[in-house]
Amino acid sequence: MTSILDWGVRVILWLQQFSPALDLPFKAFTFLGEEEFFMLLLPLLYWSLERRAAMRLAILYLFSAWVNAVAKVLGGQPRPFQYDPRVPPLVDATGDGFPSGHTQSATVVWGYLAAQFRRTWVWVLAGALLVLIPLSRIYLGVHFPTDVLGGYAIGALLLWLYLRFEPRAEAWLGSKGMFWQMALVVVVAGTLALLSPANSQDTASAAGVLMGMGVGFVLEGKWVRFDSGGDWIRRLLRFACGGVVVFTLRFGLKAAFAALQPETVFRFVRYALMGLWVSLGAPWAFVKLRLADRR
């Protein structure tokens, strides 16, 4: 294992010879794999573009994020700058290194969008990002090449399983009443929260958003039934207004819950409330404010 990591250090140092000339573009590409970016992308899809595809993608992304956080704890592998002081980290990175969360998220998100929409420009965009986002993590000194390969492998497996079995699972769930749908959401998200490693905040975040979004999806389908279409002015207004509330909740609740313990429980609650706003609160407000029609 040491020889593999030493090889990875050599790859990183070779790439970093192009620093600082390539720092800015690679930092931009790495942002496209950050939690903050997906906090913009998923609501944009759900509120303003394609509601049903966004619902499916949100579930896949959140489960993948939970799996990645657990895998990092189980792997316990250092990051390159922790392993070898010659590697400077060009961005902040915390937690264990294997597998790469950016790579895994890019694989499931862009792979799903390419498979869902089947348009040439989406395939080209997805292919480019599936190379550039992982490469940025190596260049920036926060992942070994093996971390990236692990992210590809786990992400591809989750994506394949989801594309294969999700349609049947959705049809089965749709045949059940609202009570059973809500119960399943609570059981699944609650189980993921309970199975989370004690020292992993990322698993609590993913399980919390999954709980809030899952409950919200069920209730929205029953009581709100908003339409994500409409003219582009209303679509943009939905995204702008809803997005402001998302980030207000994220940072406002973080400050409000800062002194409360246990931290993991209140982190779960904070992210669950954010998920509930995205899936239910915002669509309800859009309909009431006539920013969206009912379907």
Residue extents of the structural domains in the chain: 15-174, 176-295
Model pLDDT for residues 221-273, shown as the tens digit of each residue: 999 999 999 999 999 999 999 999 999 998 999 999 988 888 888 999 999 99
Q: How confident is the model at residue 199 (pLDDT cuts 50, 70, 90)?
A: low
Model pLDDT for residues 26-83, shown as the tens digit of each residue: 999 999 999 899 999 999 999 999 999 999 999 999 999 999 999 999 988 999 999 9
Q: What is the mean pLDDT of residues 177-187?
A: 93
Angle at which helices 120-139 and 2-15 pack, to 10 degrees? 110
- HSE at residue 134, side-chain half, CA atoms within 13 A, is 26
Taking the C-alpha atoms of residue 159 and residue 236, their distance in angstroms, rounded to an integer, is 30
Q: What is the mean pLDDT of residues 103-108?
A: 97
Model pLDDT for residues 149-158, shown as the tens digit of each residue: 999 999 999 9
Residue pair 80/142 in contact by the 8 Å Cβ criterion: yes
Quickly tell me which residue has 């905040």 as its tokens.
Answer: 201
